[in-house]
Structure 1
Amino acid sequence: MATDYDAPRNKDDEQGHESLEALKSQQRGGAMTALIDVEDADTAEGIDLPGADLSGEELVVQIIPPQEDEFTCMSCFLVRHKSQVARESNGEKYCRDCEG
């Protein structure tokens, strides 16, 4: 059945007003409260502001040496698995993504 979307819809408009009135009466009758789940990381203390003095902070990073089955691409400088080597010249290796 074809529908003419430009034609006036009298029947649907009446139903829309009824449901709108029902929503308004429900809204007046009972106030709904929203519960917000706040974690410690979400508070203002967990946010670092730009320009904050971080001179007293110490960064701890564990550096893992390159594995025997890995190489560093000399184009994108990402560590890749040896199966991703596309080209090697003068001891420099290039990955498949960079060589396209």
Structure 2
Amino acid sequence: MALIEEIMEPETAGDPMGKWLNWTRKSTYKLCEELKRQNINISPNTSGKILKHLNYSLKSNRKSISTTTHPDRNPQFEFIGTTVKQFEDSGEV
């Protein structure tokens, strides 16, 4: 497990003492690839279980795409645009 902790360290955030919860963006697949280079073969599922045992929470690298548009989206941008224009016109820039 020390090797896994060493591999995960650069990609770890959270509790610096590791007592409560850490999270990582490194996928279980990438972890398995690095372990394979060390002649350790485990599955992504097993690596996920080990990480959970080490108090890791895995986070997705993907950005979720909003399926709906906020009803105030355009007025917000219009307000920002108007405010910027007023500031520029005031000569205070």
Query: TM over 0.5, yes or no?
Result: no
Larger relative CO (CA 8 A, sep 6+): 1 or 2? 2
TM-score tier, shorter chain, comes to: under 0.3
Q: Which has the larger radius of gyration?
A: 1
Q: What TM-score do you get using the length of structure 2 for normalisation?
A: 0.23
- The structure carrying a bigger strand percent of its residues is 1
TM-score by length of 1: 0.22
